[in-house]
Amino acid sequence: MPIPEDVTGDEIDKDVRQELQSLPKGLAEDVAKNLVMVARLIDEDPEGAYGYSRVALRLASRVAAVREAAGFAAYANQKYSEALAEFRAARRMTGNVELWPVMADCERGLGRPEKALDMAGAPEVHKLDKAGQVEMRLVAAGARRDMGQLDAAIVTLQSPELASASVQPWTARLRYAYADALLAAGREDEAREWFAKAVESDKDGSTDASDRLAEMDGVEFVDAFDEDEDETPADGESEAEGEAAAGNDTEGAEKVLDGDVDGDEDDLKA
């Protein structure tokens, strides 16, 4: 697959670069460039990222970082069985437990929420850092919801991290998951409160909490271009023709806007 000229391979994390030192120099550079492309595309173009991950995997399947990248690319494309196999391989190579939550989430994706819950109670969870433990809690709550256990999902999310006033990288997603679980259980007033708290902590827009909150408040967003539809048709123009013209103007404006918008994503399917 083609590599853009601006990609040198030096963009990768220093720990990954150190792993690649076991490879011949030219090969290491090629693998590094493909890993950079995986990281660059995984949010906007998961299929493209998956393609580059397969190239890296073909070149260096014995490098843990490559197996991990291949796992995340497969995960982003909902290829959960393949992702789980790659994560397991990376874990065997490193002995690291940091992939435990996403491995459990793959079990959810494969329709095995009971297995995900078993993993949530495994000794490996105690070896995770705080961020990893929060991710594991999110996965466990999701597994409970998969099984129709809404009240249990709510209780699973109730934790010191949820109650804390300090904002951490995981705070918005944790509050959002809690609000969503409350709403699913019919506890709308509490859900609204926690969606609002999620908005307060979501500085980088990692959730759609603001949209969910607006929806609960009955706020409707109107396209400014729709006002053209209310204009009186010109002389000699039928009402139907006027409506069609207004619709075409709106479509053209939307195409222009779509062309100007770029988006970025991760994570676990909480």
The confidence band for 31, taking pLDDT boundaries of 50, 70 and 90, is: very high
Task: In whole angstroms, give the CA distance from residue 37 to residue 269.
Answer: 23
Measured between alpha carbons, how far is 14 from 34 in angstroms, rounded to an integer?
16
DSSP assignments along 59-127, one per residue:
H-TT-HHHHHHHHHHHHHTT-HHHHHHHHHHHHHHH---TTHHHHHHHHHHTT-HHHHHHHHTSGGGGG
Average pLDDT in the chain: 85
As a 3-state breakdown, the chain gives helix, strand, coil percent values, each rounded to 5, of: 70, 0, 30
Band of pLDDT at residue 251, cut at 50, 70 and 90: very low
CA atoms within 13 A on the CB side of 151: 0
Q: Is residue 214 over pLDDT 70?
A: yes
- The CB-side HSE value for 131 (13 A sphere, CA atoms) comes to 11
Q: Model confidence over 97-146: pLDDT tens digits?
A: 999 999 999 999 999 999 999 999 999 999 999 999 999 999 999 999 99
Distance (Å, rounded) from C-alpha 215 to C-alpha 179? 13
Measured in residues, the chain has a length of 270
What value does the mean pLDDT take over residues 19-46? 95
DSSP H/E element including 54:
helix 46-59
Q: How far apart are CA 97 and CA 160, in angstroms?
A: 23
Instruction: Say how far apart CA 43 and CA 172 lie, in whole Å.
Output: 19
Classify the phi-psi angles of 9: left when phi > 0, otherwise alpha if psi is within -120 to 50, otherwise beta. left
Q: What would the pLDDT profile of 178-203 be if each residue is shown by its tens digit?
A: 999 999 999 999 999 999 999 999 98
Instruction: Please give the pLDDT value at position 116.
Output: 98
Report d(CA 55, CA 41) in Å as an integer.
14
Q: For residue 6, give the 3-state DSSP assignment.
A: coil
CB 94 within 8 A of CB 62: no
Q: Give 57 or 265, the one with higher predicted confidence.
A: 57
